[in-house]
């Protein structure tokens, strides 16, 4: 017996398209789940994006107002893939509307926003999900099984690295990802969240930590128009980067294992 589940996706950039494609593949990937996602509505202020999503994935309708997604009685699950500073408002509104929520990380721009959203989710008794996709990689799941079965012996040391190059060019414009008031943390929320998620899953809770962070590219060109952090500007004024490019940490896990975690977004 199968059941249709109405899906709404807010923000149709690269990640919104990725969520839509994943929902489309559920029936083939998980044939025994009994769930058939139905793509009801997608929202974005850019109508070209929503029209493309409708063409590629078969959404029943589109809107430029994300609140219309929450007003749709046929939507049960909402994917929120918007920029970080919009997560709090959208998550709280979705939970108040009685929707289950899949929010991309970081859920909040800092601990206070994240705790507020978590408290609202617990109070509403609804399902919530965060996009820690790397834990579901087959090789990571195989490693977890080996650890649980004791085939690797006792875990005494864990080393996690997540290096990206999306910010390596000093001429890359000052997109929202480089501004604390919009993104919150830099690589702490963007990359370290993934590295830490896998560490917690594979090695257990962290008991102690010492860390440092650094911003290696301290200023970037001000964008002349809306765009992504891949856009480049050779001329014009610059402004300060207000969150971190790099985080390194030494940790002691509750089971006594030691670990090092390191993330960076300016690897050339």
In this structure, what CATH number is given to the domain that contains residue 196? 3.30.360.10
pLDDT classification of 221: cutoffs 50, 70, 90: very high
The domain that contains 75 carries what CATH number? 3.40.50.720
104 and 143 within one domain: no
Identify the domain boundary among 103, 131, 159.
131
126 and 183 within one domain: no
176 and 112 within one domain: no
Look at the block and give the residue holding tokens 């996706």: 9
Share of the chain above pLDDT 70, in %: 99
Q: What is the CA radius of gyration of the chain?
A: 20
Integer distance in angstroms from the first to the last C-alpha of the chain?
51
Q: Which tens digits make up the pLDDT trace of 235-259?
A: 889 999 999 999 999 999 999 999 9
Q: What values do phi and psi take at 211, rounded to 5? A: -145, 165
Which residues touch 20 (CB under 8 Å, ≥6 apart)?
9, 12, 39, 42, 53, 56, 57, 59
Domain with 84, as residue range(s), is 3-131
Identify the domain boundary among 72, 107, 131.
131
Q: Please say if the pLDDT value at position 155 is more than 80.
A: yes
Identify the domain boundary among 82, 113, 131.
131
Residue 90 is inside which H or E element, if any?
helix 87-96
Whether the CA torsion 45, 51, 52, 57 is positive or negative: it is: positive
Give the Cα separation of 206 and 97 in Å (integer): 35
Q: Which tens digits make up the pLDDT trace of 131-151?
A: 899 999 999 999 999 999 999
Residue 19, pLDDT score:
98
145 and 117 within one domain: no
Question: Residue range 14-43: average pLDDT?
Answer: 96
How many domains, the chain?
2
Angle value at C-alpha 26, between 20 and 30, nearest 5 degrees:
160
């Amino acid at each position: 017996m199968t059941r249709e589940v109405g899906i709404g996706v807010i923000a149709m950039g690269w990640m919104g398209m990725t969520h839509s494609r994943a929902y489309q593949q559920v029936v083939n990937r998980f044939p025994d789940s009994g769930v058939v996602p139905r793509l009801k509505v997608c929202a974005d202020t850019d109508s070209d994006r929503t029209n493309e999503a409708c063409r590629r994935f078969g959404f029943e309708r589109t809107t430029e107002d994300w609140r219309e997604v929450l007003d749709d009685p046929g939507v049960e699950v909402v994917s929120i893939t918007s920029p970080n500073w919009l997560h709090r408002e959208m998550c709280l509104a979705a939970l108040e509307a009685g929707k289950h929520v899949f929010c991309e990380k970081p859920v909040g721009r800092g601990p206070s926003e994240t705790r507020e959203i978590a408290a609202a989710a617990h109070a509403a008794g609804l399902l919530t999900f965060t996009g820690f996709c790397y834990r579901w990689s087959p090789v990571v799941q195989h490693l977890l099984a080996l650890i649980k079965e004791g085939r690797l012996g006792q875990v005494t040391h864990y080393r996690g690295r997540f290096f990206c190059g999306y910010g390596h060019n000093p001429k890359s414009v000052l997109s929202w990802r480089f501004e604390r008031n919009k993104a919150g943390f830099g690589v702490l929320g963007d990359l370290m969240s993934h590295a830490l998620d896998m560490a917690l899953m594979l090695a257990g809770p962290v008991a102690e930590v010492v860390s440092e962070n650094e911003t290696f590219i301290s200023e970037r060109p001000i964008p002349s128009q809306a765009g992504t952090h891949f856009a480049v500007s050779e001329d014009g004024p610059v402004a300060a980067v207000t969150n971190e490019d790099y985080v390194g940490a030494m940790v002691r896990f509750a089971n006594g294992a030691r670990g090092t975690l390191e993330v960076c977004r300016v690897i050339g």
